Structure 1
């Protein structure tokens, strides 16, 4: 499972590249998730995560 985070598309691309380069496809099944929900108490410390993932962000990773 991989959770796509807001503003972190490049990180998701890197993770997916690593998986495809280092793991044999028959050994894993990948699930991309977009269910990230901001947590108000922590959002003040990480304002870049104070929103949901957009359709564009998720669709571009898929």
Structure 2
């Protein structure tokens, strides 16, 4: 897991206490959003026709 913990709020940034990690989900890279031990969101990129879009999955599980 590659994790980044953000300590301060900045314009367009991530709020205090939020951690973002990059993980493999079903064989694809995904960006996971955590608040403490609770998983609050998963973004899985789709790459097609030279464009990147994201499928968003909301979660509510704990580590």
The answer to whether TM tops 0.5 is: no
Structure 1-normalised TM-score?
0.18
Identify, as 1 or 2, the structure richer in helix: 1
